A and B are shown apart, each in its own frame.
Chain A
């Protein structure tokens, strides 16, 4: 720089305001001040106007007694605080999101692979599935499951018996609840030990194959080790597990484990709905792997299942993961549709907090922060996974 500028007379273009560094810093400072001032002005106006209109403000209501009952996974009563109720709603949202994500991923993978099947029937069924669910709004899918499928189940007196003490009715799915006995931790320890043993077998089998080229059914052997050791310990420790049976009362079934119709509706609806999108993502991922790869894999003697598992899917994942992250975010956000069926998710609970307190602005802020937090966590996890499976350049 100095060499080029040497001998040049300082002119008007060299004034301080023409210096790109000073200029950009100045512009950024002005912008930051403007944004801060705008936010401050909005905040000041809001609080002043709310105060003048006699509308309560602040987050003090979170510590007050809620005074309403709602069915959530966390035990809540009318004596719980509003803040605790909102946390219970958040937990419900997280549980239903996670379960829907698992179901949608498994179902979507099956659908996506089926779409490319050489079998006409499987291919057509998968295509119909995708076109059907992809073109219906999620709310309609939810109402369909709730009002047409689950509400059509028989009432509790004529419940469908799926086995001893396992029943299905329009009040939900009831089953015995396992109660852990005093010696159950021994079984857990045995289970962990067996997992380690199975992993060692797998590690040994891998090393042997690398050395000699001979295969070994390490999957089946490992499974056998886990089952034999865990079950053996279970029997040996005497009766470490008992069951709390569901008991029929006049109106409901008490005790045991219950899956409520509202919860079932949510994860089934979001699962099958999102699976149609994930199916298409999986299909695009598989098609992005060049056909030469498949042919080459077949040429070295892999069976079609192995071609898919060992060659195609690992490469397809690189295309699949980024759009998959968006679908997971969609599932999380779509759980807010739960309020149509009375599942106590974050939004449904928030509505019941918003109404008696009247603090809609605060509750909307809490909603935004909670959903933003969940979305960021999912994005970070998916980005980490994406980086892990990315093509390693050598």
Chain B
């Protein structure tokens, strides 16, 4: 039902909305209402998941908090809209949410036909497959003829189809709409394997009855660069989300962390002074924010490494190594665009 409502909301906004330009000032709207409305996952540990008291935590959730910190110097000024895979795009198109931080894969069609623009890649991922250990399956090729559960409305559906087609394997798909229902069907033994992005599998495994009974196969079926998304009709708002993402990466590269950011304000390193808006540096002005916008982000939420370690890193139940998501000088792909 929510899906139909969001669909209708989209129909109403685009049909009675008088002009596009009049709707563009997302930053002004956000300042006026006093919070960022952020679309997040309904329940994926590590990325976007409500805790027992209903507060959202996770890697993507921290991106919402970082944007709120840059605007308000208060990471709590976020309201979350939990969205399933098929609801997320109409919700952003209709303006129900200001941004989407919901482990969303950046693809060409999403970038060019949905009216969106991706503000960067916060997690380099790939689709994977999880099976029960008792099945003694070592590789995806052993799954010929299996039934595979997959959440509908994701690009994993396509990745799965492509991979099995390319490798001449047969399978029976069981496509279910909600992530929780998909996982429940796998846990109940309705299917032999579960597929989604590998980071998602790590989170899902924690929700199964016996996480230790399941193993994620080594093959990576597709490229899945995940990132925050905004509408493409508001360049200023796009710049804010994009540069908050970059500031998180720049801060880690420069060694500025949540713990030492106050000490770093005494740094004489020009790159750090530009990042933190020290002296007469005012990069915030160009995106409509305070000069110390990046300082607020790091002070309130932390840098990219802080966010990663808190939600996904080896010390968390997710236990994901940085891998591809290490900084470029540490063998990974994460590379912040410099603030100069």
A residues with CB within 8 A of B: 42-43, 45-46, 49-50, 52-56, 67-71, 78, 147, 151, 155, 170-171, 249-252, 254, 261-262, 339-342, 344, 348, 351-352, 354-358, 360-361, 363-364
A170 B190 Cβ-Cβ under 8 A: yes
Interface positions of B from 132 to 179, Cβ below 8 Å from A: 143-147, 149, 152-155, 157-158, 160-162, 164-165, 171-178
Pick out which of these stretches binds chain A: B3-11, B37-45, B62-70, B268-276: B3-11
A351 B153 Cβ-Cβ under 8 A: yes
A341: chain B residues at CB < 8 Å are 176, 181, 185
Q: List 11 A-B contacts (CB under 8 A).
A: A43-B15, A50-B115, A52-B20, A52-B233, A54-B115, A55-B113, A69-B173, A252-B172, A341-B181, A356-B109, A358-B115
A67: chain B residues at CB < 8 Å are 158, 161-162
B110 A352 Cβ-Cβ under 8 A: no
Complex partner residue of A171 from B10, B11, B147, CB under 8 angstroms: B147
CB closest residue in chain B, given A254: B145
A171: chain B residues at CB < 8 Å are 147, 190
A351: chain B residues at CB < 8 Å are 3, 86, 152-153, 177
Complex partner residue of B233 from A53, A70, A78, A348, CB under 8 angstroms: A53
B233 A352 Cβ-Cβ under 8 A: no
- Interface size class for chain B? 35 or more
**Considering the chains assembled together, what is the distance between the CA atoms of A55 and B177 in angstroms?**
24
Most buried by A among B16, B86, B149: B86
**Considering the chains assembled together, what is the distance between the CA atoms of A223 and B311 in angstroms?**
71
B89 A355 Cβ-Cβ under 8 A: yes
**Considering the chains assembled together, what is the distance between the CA atoms of A56 and B181 in angstroms?**
31
Complex partner residue of B114 from A70, A262, A352, A358, CB under 8 angstroms: A358
A251 B115 Cβ-Cβ under 8 A: no
Given contacts A50-B14, A53-B20, A262-B174, contact A251 B114 (CB under 8 A): no
B175 A70 Cβ-Cβ under 8 A: yes
Given contacts A56-B113, A67-B162, A357-B113, contact A252 B145 (CB under 8 A): yes
B152: chain A residues at CB < 8 Å are 339, 342, 348, 351-352, 355
B153 A364 Cβ-Cβ under 8 A: no
B14 A45 Cβ-Cβ under 8 A: yes
B154: chain A residues at CB < 8 Å are 355
A361: chain B residues at CB < 8 Å are 7, 10-11, 14
A355 B190 Cβ-Cβ under 8 A: no
CB closest residue in chain A, given B154: A355
CB distance from B9 to the nearest CB of A (A): 10
Complex partner residue of B160 from A69, A147, A254, A356, CB under 8 angstroms: A69
**Considering the chains assembled together, what is the distance between the CA atoms of A156 and B254 in angstroms?**
56
- Does B93 sit within 8 A of A, measured CB to CB? yes
A46 B11 Cβ-Cβ under 8 A: yes
**Considering the chains assembled together, what is the distance between the CA atoms of A43 and B14 in angstroms?**
10
Q: Which 6 A-B pairs have the closest CB atoms?
A: A342-B176, A151-B188, A53-B115, A355-B153, A56-B113, A358-B114
CB closest residue in chain B, given A152: B188
- Does B189 sit within 8 A of A, measured CB to CB? yes
**Considering the chains assembled together, what is the distance between the CA atoms of A148 and B182 in angstroms?**
15
Given contacts A69-B173, A348-B152, A356-B158, 9 further A-B contacts (CB under 8 A): A45-B15, A49-B17, A52-B233, A54-B115, A55-B93, A151-B188, A254-B145, A340-B181, A364-B8
CB distance from A88 to the nearest CB of B (A): 12
B residues with CB within 8 A of A: 3-4, 7-8, 10-11, 14-18, 20, 85-86, 89-90, 93, 109-110, 112-115, 143-147, 149, 152-155, 157-158, 160-162, 164-165, 171-178, 181-182, 184-185, 188-190, 192, 231-233
A151: chain B residues at CB < 8 Å are 185, 188-190
**Considering the chains assembled together, what is the distance between the CA atoms of A313 and B311 in angstroms?**
66
A357: chain B residues at CB < 8 Å are 109, 113
A170 B146 Cβ-Cβ under 8 A: no
CB distance from A89 to the nearest CB of B (A): 11
A55 B114 Cβ-Cβ under 8 A: yes
**Considering the chains assembled together, what is the distance between the CA atoms of A53 and B154 in angstroms?**
23
**Considering the chains assembled together, what is the distance between the CA atoms of A310 and B4 in angstroms?**
47
A68 B89 Cβ-Cβ under 8 A: no
A364 B4 Cβ-Cβ under 8 A: yes
B158: chain A residues at CB < 8 Å are 67-68, 78, 356
Most buried by B among A340, A341, A342, A361: A342
Complex partner residue of A71 from B8, B115, B155, B173, CB under 8 angstroms: B173
A348 B177 Cβ-Cβ under 8 A: yes
CB distance from A296 to the nearest CB of B (A): 51
**Considering the chains assembled together, what is the distance between the CA atoms of A53 and B95 in angstroms?**
12
CB distance from B245 to the nearest CB of A (A): 22
Complex partner residue of B153 from A155, A262, A352, CB under 8 angstroms: A352
**Considering the chains assembled together, what is the distance between the CA atoms of A151 and B233 in angstroms?**
47
**Considering the chains assembled together, what is the distance between the CA atoms of A50 and B113 in angstroms?**
10
**Considering the chains assembled together, what is the distance between the CA atoms of A52 and B184 in angstroms?**
41
**Considering the chains assembled together, what is the distance between the CA atoms of A357 and B3 in angstroms?**
16
B188 A170 Cβ-Cβ under 8 A: yes
Most buried by B among A53, A151, A363, A364: A53
CB distance from A331 to the nearest CB of B (A): 18
A55 B115 Cβ-Cβ under 8 A: yes
CB distance from A57 to the nearest CB of B (A): 10
**Considering the chains assembled together, what is the distance between the CA atoms of A151 and B149 in angstroms?**
14
CB closest residue in chain B, given A337: B1
CB distance from A259 to the nearest CB of B (A): 14
CB distance from B287 to the nearest CB of A (A): 22
CB distance from B165 to the nearest CB of A (A): 6
**Considering the chains assembled together, what is the distance between the CA atoms of A249 and B181 in angstroms?**
26
A53: chain B residues at CB < 8 Å are 14, 20, 93, 115, 231-233
CB closest residue in chain A, given B18: A45
A249 B175 Cβ-Cβ under 8 A: no
A249: chain B residues at CB < 8 Å are 145
Complex partner residue of A364 from B11, B155, B164, CB under 8 angstroms: B11
Given contacts A171-B147, A352-B152, A356-B155, contact A339 B177 (CB under 8 A): yes
CB closest residue in chain A, given B152: A352
Given contacts A53-B20, A71-B174, A358-B113, contact A342 B185 (CB under 8 A): yes
CB distance from B255 to the nearest CB of A (A): 40
B145: chain A residues at CB < 8 Å are 249-252, 254
B8: chain A residues at CB < 8 Å are 364
